[in-house]
Amino acid sequence: MSQAHQPEVLIVSLGSTTGLRTADEGLAESLRRAGARVEIALSSRPRELRTMMLTDLQWARAARAATCRSLASVRPRAIVYSSTTAALLWSRPGAIRFDAPSAANRPGRHGLWQRPLEAMRLRQAPLLLPLSDGGLSELPRSVPVGGRTLVLGLPVEPSGPAGGERDIAAITYAANPLKKGLDRVLHAWQRVRAECLGGEQLELVVVGTSEEELRRAGISVAGESGVRLAGRLPAEEYRALLRRARVFVCAPRREDYGAAQLEALADGCLLVSTPAPGPYVGLGIARELDPRLVDEDLARALSSALRDPPPLEPYRVRALAALEPFSPQAIDRKVAEELLPRLLALPS
């Protein structure tokens, strides 16, 4: 490949979830709009293993293999590893983009080998790209921050015009159902449905998971009245459901970022949530919009949203104002004015 066509930035994409792949493709497109030549090294999905330690090892090896394949034919000026796992076994140092470090989301035996190696890579990385200030604050104390960080969130915007019929009472996104607290959402939902709500037939739509994944998690929706499992959907179909829903409800046991909640706010849903540990970006926004809708008692918050909701249009307008720093235009400006110059200035 001629020097003129060599990529300036190589993104090493773990791609273990649809969300991660979408985020990496979005970053690549933003860098291209800023004038950079970008290539994505996509890791091959390894076989599923039972423990988190072995799963992370398999994904780290897959990311290293993807990097080596790309570096055999191209010479990028900078590398961005998308997640700390992608960087664990790197063959060349680069920037690390992450939502939360293993020091926070791999407690105990789950992160026995990952945490010390991750800390070393975070110290060695010339540039750290946390998705949020909360993710940055969770770095271990052994990792000096200095001037080598740039907080860069994920872009979010409405997926379609506002003002359509809100004919779905509530929706929840339940990929990794135990971490997302689907069992707690279902319990709260049945409590709310048992209340007198003017005889309305309420329905909760569950998206992002399958019957098989729910069985492995010990959760069943088969006998749950007023619950519909929509399964895994293309992004366009999922966002279309958000535009029809009055409430997005969740009860995560930990939230490393919370892109689904930001998308729900962008599409006009009321955000009902329990507090959760982790760099949960939408939590503070939800509290500002209506503090009644953030409650340890999820059923109480959900009942407030359905029985005594705030005026939907003012709520939506305020939500969009709060999301302005995450708009594609704002992210593109930050990528062009701050990220790309710093990437191109890194030692190759």
Looking at the structure, tell me whether residues 181 and 308 fall in a common domain: yes
Looking at the structure, tell me whether residues 28 and 7 fall in a common domain: yes
CB-count burial class (<10 Å; 0-12, 13-18, 19+) for 287: middle
Has residue 269 been placed in a domain?
Answer: yes
Residue 1, pLDDT > 70, answer no
Looking at the structure, tell me whether residues 314 and 199 fall in a common domain: yes
pLDDT, position 105: 87
Has residue 42 been placed in a domain?
Answer: yes
Has residue 161 been placed in a domain?
Answer: no
Domain enclosing residue 17, as ranges = 3-155+327-344
How many CB atoms sit inside 10 A of residue 91's CB? Answer: 13
Report how far residue 292's alpha carbon sits from residue 239's, in angstroms, rounded to the nearest whole number. 25
Rg (C-alpha) for the chain, rounded Å, is 21
* 3 state SS of 80: strand
3-state secondary structure 106-148: CCHHHHCCHHHHHHHHHHHCCCEEECCHHHHHCCCCCCCCCCC
The mean pLDDT of 16-27, rounded to a whole number, is 91
Looking at the structure, tell me whether residues 186 and 44 fall in a common domain: no
Residue 45, pLDDT > 80, answer yes
The mean pLDDT of 149-162, rounded to a whole number, is 95
Residue 199, pLDDT > 60, answer no
How many CB atoms sit inside 10 A of residue 309's CB? Answer: 15
Scored b (16 or more CB within 10 A) or e, 110-145 reads ebeebbebbbebbeebbbbbbbbebbbebbeeebee
Has residue 163 been placed in a domain?
Answer: no
Looking at the structure, tell me whether residues 35 and 119 fall in a common domain: yes
CATH number for 332: 3.40.50.2000
pLDDT, position 197: 56
Beta-bridged to residue 172, according to DSSP, are 206
Looking at the structure, tell me whether residues 150 and 182 fall in a common domain: no
Residue range 60-88, pLDDT digits in tens: 999 999 999 999 999 999 999 999 999 99
Residue range 288-308, pLDDT digits in tens: 999 999 999 999 999 999 999
pLDDT, position 189: 96
- Length of the chain counted residue by residue: 348
Has residue 190 been placed in a domain?
Answer: yes
Report how far residue 150's alpha carbon sits from residue 265's, in angstroms, rounded to the nearest whole number. 25
Residue range 167-187, pLDDT digits in tens: 999 999 999 999 999 999 999
| Average pLDDT along the chain | 94
Has residue 86 been placed in a domain?
Answer: yes
Looking at the structure, tell me whether residues 10 and 144 fall in a common domain: yes
* 3 state SS of 91: coil
Looking at the structure, tell me whether residues 248 and 188 fall in a common domain: yes
Looking at the structure, tell me whether residues 217 and 93 fall in a common domain: no
The mean pLDDT of 82-109, rounded to a whole number, is 94
Are 84 and 101 within 8 A, CB to CB?
A: yes
The mean pLDDT of 37-63, rounded to a whole number, is 92
Looking at the structure, tell me whether residues 213 and 172 fall in a common domain: yes
Report how far residue 195's alpha carbon sits from residue 197's, in angstroms, rounded to the nearest whole number. 6
pLDDT, position 110: 85
Has residue 283 been placed in a domain?
Answer: yes
Indicate the number of domains in the chain: 2
Residue 23, pLDDT > 60, answer yes
pLDDT, position 223: 80
Report how far residue 271's alpha carbon sits from residue 282's, in angstroms, rounded to the nearest whole number. 9
Residue 111, pLDDT > 90, answer no
Has residue 162 been placed in a domain?
Answer: no
Q: Tokens for 286, please give them.
A: 């939800």
- Terminal Cα distance for the chain, rounded: 18
Residue 2, pLDDT > 60, answer no
Looking at the structure, tell me whether residues 81 and 12 fall in a common domain: yes
* 3 state SS of 97: strand
Looking at the structure, tell me whether residues 108 and 241 fall in a common domain: no
